[in-house]
A and B are shown apart, each in its own frame.
Chain A
Amino acid sequence: MTFNWSGKRRWVALLLLIAGFVVMLTVPPVIPVIQLPGEVWPNGWMTNTLAASIIVWILLILLAFYTRGAMPKGSNEVPRGGFYNLFEMAFEGLYGFVRNITGERYLRYIFSFFMTIFLIVLLSNWIELIPGVDSVGFLHARAQSDPATGAVEVEEGFELNTVLPGVYALDPDCPWLSPEETAVMTVEARIAREQQNCATGTTRVIEGPEALVAGAEHELEPAADSESAEAGVEAAATEAAVAHEGAVTGDTEGAVEEGGRIDEAVEPDPEAAETGEPQEERLEAVHAPTGDPRVPWHIIPFLRAPSTDLNMTAALALIAVVMTQVLGFRALGIGYLTKFFNFRTLLTSPLGGIDVAVGLLELIGEFARILSFAFRLLGNIFAGSILLFVMSFLIPFLPWPFFILEFFVGIIQALVFALLTAIFMNLATASHHAEDEHGHAEEIPVEASAVGEMTPAHP
């Protein structure tokens, strides 16, 4: 492979590298709060993984229509260049790949699932590589008050720096301190914090969050609220665009940490109120003006890679396994069940009992496949995204080798997910009886038979 280093491209790369450094210095990275479930947006129901999923779906639909438009119509038309040819090449390669595995009969069915799963998983994995994903988002006050008792729960977080009007960044030098922690601080620590220009834990007296909750005058006006929200999101979006350019040079993800507004959080459920459900456990978010140092802040990212959400991986795993069974019934009819409930040889053969046990094991194996599929993808990509922002935090100037690593991990995991689906589907279409008679029969190609031997040990 040869790179063309002449021309403008190298200067662009150099500029982006420098821009990455500037961003790293002005907005130093912090380690975000890591949680497995997708973070809920302030609107109360949209999670950031679902939002990213929607982007993936839209991209795929656009891909379908773009490809349909770019496809050569007549038999003599030369296809357009660029992305279409790349896609067509990959498509053709994967098509031949799947055909080698499955043969012609159920090719269309299996390939459709293979390709759809591959594309969805691939894009879902690659979303984590976009800078700003996992790091740019809504500001969220990590304090909640119990409306019944008025008790306030406060978690850890950071104070804010203002980068631009309406755009904030978490200050890694100023982790938020609760009044209790402030009370036990030494004088030196207090002075050191004051030198960092932090508000909490210094000699400056900060009122506790309780006062905030009590005082309704601190709540923002609705009009101003929405306005500031819009401004904040807009500014965050432009900043994300800047960060995206930086990323091409492999710049720091997680360097940019800002958000728009306070979390309005969960509104009281009117239905629940009507039916008189107990509301003791419901907590309400503390209302505080953005940037208020009296509450800890953290970020709810706008987007997070969908593959880091168990819902997405489990949904794909369920679909893959269920559609495998559907294909099995379609290919073998009701006889497919004898794969799991194999009583034919119970009375005729001395080892009939073993066949029954093997069948039941296969049944358990089908369920184990769901878990296996779901957690393999989740674990890989979740670990990958943690790796990315931990590395961005530890070595903000050089995280791009890990981006390359995750790029390939994304491809491989997508391929593995789709390939295993195709192979399991192909195994489901192969007659169990024929397998007994001829061993791994001629219809099953090398890959499938090899995997077939591996599968029992796999769950």
Chain B
Amino acid sequence: MEEAVMLAGKAIGAGLAMIGALGGGVGIGLAVGGAVQAMARNPDFSSTIQTNMILGVAFAEAVAIYALVVSLIILFVL
């Protein structure tokens, strides 16, 4: 019984932690949207824009990844 409660708590906690992925998703969407617009307007600078986009996406993704790591730790480590 105790274990079941603990498992439930873990599952709920991991699920809640993944809410943090929301921000990352929105951020990546905005970044890529902006980058695609910029590339469409100015195709000559595609490579530069793409580099910056990947970096920005990596940073935005990092937040979501932190949430993921927290939830993974809750599930598999705690």
**A–B interface present (Cβ within 8 A):** yes
Contact present for A382 and B72 (CB under 8 Å): yes
Contact present for B61 and A376 (CB under 8 Å): yes
Residue in A36, A419, A458 whose beta carbon sits within 8 Å of that of B72 in the complex: A36
Secondary structure call for the A interface = helix
Contact present for B59 and A454 (CB under 8 Å): yes
Task: State whether A383 and B62 are in contact (beta carbons under 8 Å apart), knowing that A36-B77, A412-B54, A447-B52 are contacts in the complex.
Answer: no
Contact present for A415 and B54 (CB under 8 Å): yes
Closest CB of chain A to B72's CB: distance in Å? Answer: 6
CA distance A450 to B56 in the complex (A): 9
Contact present for A447 and B55 (CB under 8 Å): yes
User: Is A379's beta carbon under 8 Å from chain B?
Assistant: yes
Residues of A in contact, count (CB < 8 Å): 25
Contact present for B65 and A379 (CB under 8 Å): yes
B-chain residues with CB within 8 Å of residue A454 when the two chains form the complex = 55-56, 59
User: Is B68's beta carbon under 8 Å from chain A?
Assistant: yes
User: Is A361's beta carbon under 8 Å from chain B?
Assistant: no
Per-residue interface assignment for chain B, residues 46 to 78, with 1 indicating a CB less than 8 Å from any chain A CB and 0 otherwise:
001001101110110110011011001101110
5 closest A-B pairs by beta carbon, nearest first, are A379-B65, A416-B58, A379-B69, A379-B68, A376-B62
Contact present for B68 and A383 (CB under 8 Å): yes
Secondary structure call for the B interface = helix
8 new A-B pairs (CB below 8 Å) besides A36-B77, A376-B58? Answer: A379-B68, A386-B72, A416-B58, A419-B51, A419-B55, A420-B55, A447-B52, A450-B55
Contact present for B65 and A376 (CB under 8 Å): yes
A-chain residues with CB within 8 Å of residue B48 when the two chains form the complex = 446-447
Residue from A379, A416, A450, A451 with most neighbouring chain B CB atoms (10 Å):
A379
Contact present for B58 and A36 (CB under 8 Å): no
A-chain residues with CB within 8 Å of residue B62 when the two chains form the complex = 372, 375-376, 458
Contact present for A450 and B52 (CB under 8 Å): yes
Task: State whether A34 and B76 are in contact (beta carbons under 8 Å apart), knowing that A379-B68, A380-B65 are contacts in the complex.
Answer: yes
In the complex, which residue of chain A has the Cβ closest to the Cβ of B52?
Answer: A450
Closest CB of chain B to A150's CB: distance in Å? Answer: 23
A-chain residues with CB within 8 Å of residue B61 when the two chains form the complex = 376, 380
Closest CB of chain A to B73's CB: distance in Å? Answer: 7
CA distance A446 to B48 in the complex (A): 8
Per-residue interface assignment for chain A, residues 406 to 427, with 1 indicating a CB less than 8 Å from any chain B CB and 0 otherwise:
0000001001100110010000
In the complex, which residue of chain B has the Cβ closest to the Cβ of A383?
Answer: B68
In the complex, which residue of chain B has the Cβ closest to the Cβ of A413?
Answer: B58
Interfacial residues of chain A within 366-412, with CB under 8 A of chain B in the complex: 372, 375-376, 378-380, 382-383, 386, 412
Contact present for B58 and A447 (CB under 8 Å): no
B-chain residues with CB within 8 Å of residue A35 when the two chains form the complex = 76
Closest CB of chain B to A195's CB: distance in Å? Answer: 28
Closest CB of chain A to B78's CB: distance in Å? Answer: 10
CA distance A188 to B10 in the complex (A): 32
CA distance A376 to B76 in the complex (A): 18
Contact present for B69 and A375 (CB under 8 Å): yes
A-chain residues with CB within 8 Å of residue B75 when the two chains form the complex = 34
CA distance A382 to B72 in the complex (A): 9
CA distance A412 to B60 in the complex (A): 14
